[in-house]
């Protein structure tokens, strides 16, 4: 299997027309990341805010899974999870992560690396109340990452959560659930090109200042 990166695929030709250059990050990593995310949405890339999150386990071995980015601002990249899940516990032990947005149909990806910290309770609550009721009940029902004997047992836990809160009662934020933010120390932008001569531009913090370079593919 081999993909031709000579163009950006259906609807993506405009994205491939301009080569990625270090100058495109003159305004910092945030404007370009937001632009690329918006263009992935416009190109109807499936789950454009999905990112592969990498952590390390208790043995120092890498672990990855896909999560949904819920906010990108000057402070970093934010996602939400059960703090008692595998990733939650791993990030509590080693609060550093790598996350990659892979927008394959338009031949782009961005990797963000940096320290991780919890967002404020107010920020978690603000996002929590935008979630569908079923998603809020699911957060209470699931002991994320823990074994369970069957699908039926999981569905029963969901029914119990529904009974607990009823149809009209507000569902509070679980004490074990909330936001985590990656504060970038490095951000790499990648653009697919023909003959594997891809464009790679890396910006990273060096002595408190951002330094941007082109990398060989």
Token pair 């790679």 in the structure block, residue: 200
Detail the residues annotated as belonging to a binding site for FMN.
Answer: 65-70, 80-81, 87, 109, 144-145, 190, 200
Q: Which of 2, 61, 151, 196 is catalytic?
A: 196
Alpha helix ranges (H) inside 82-180: 86-93, 121-128, 133-141, 151-165
SS (H, E, C) 121-146: HHHHHHHHCCCCHHHHHHHHHCCCCC
136 among known catalytic residues = no
Detail the residues annotated as belonging to a binding site for substrate.
Answer: 70, 127, 131, 135, 196-198
Indicate the burial class of 139 (C-beta count within 10 angstroms; 0-12, 13-18, 19 or more). buried
Q: Which residues are marked as active site? A: 196
């Amino acid at each position: 299997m081999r993909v031709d990166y000579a163009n950006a695929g259906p609807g993506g030709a405009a994205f491939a027309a301009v080569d990625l250059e270090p100058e495109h990050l003159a305004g910092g990593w945030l404007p370009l990341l937001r632009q690329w995310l918006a263009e992935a949405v416009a190109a109807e890339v499936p789950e454009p805010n999905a990112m592969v999150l990498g952590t390390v386990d208790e043995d120092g071995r890498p672990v990855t899974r896909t999560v949904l980015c819920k906010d990108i601002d000057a402070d970093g990249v934010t996602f939400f999870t059960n703090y008692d899940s595998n990733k939650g516990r791993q990030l509590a032990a080693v609060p550093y992560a790598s996350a990659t947005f892979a927008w394959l149909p338009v031949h782009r990806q961005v990797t963000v690396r940096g320290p991780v910290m919890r967002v404020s309770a107010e920020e978690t609550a603000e996002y929590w109340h935008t979630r569908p009721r079923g998603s809020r009940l699911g957060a209470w029902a699931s002991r994320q990452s823990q074994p369970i004997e069957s699908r039926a047992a999981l569905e029963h836990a969901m029914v119990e959560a529904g009974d607990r809160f009823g149809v009209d009662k507000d569902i509070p934020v679980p004490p074990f659930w909330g936001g985590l933010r990656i504060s970038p120390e490095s951000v790499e932008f990648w653009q697919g090109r023909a003959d594997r001569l891809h464009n790679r531009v890396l910006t990273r913090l060096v002595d408190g200042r951002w330094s941007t370079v082109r990398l060989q593919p």
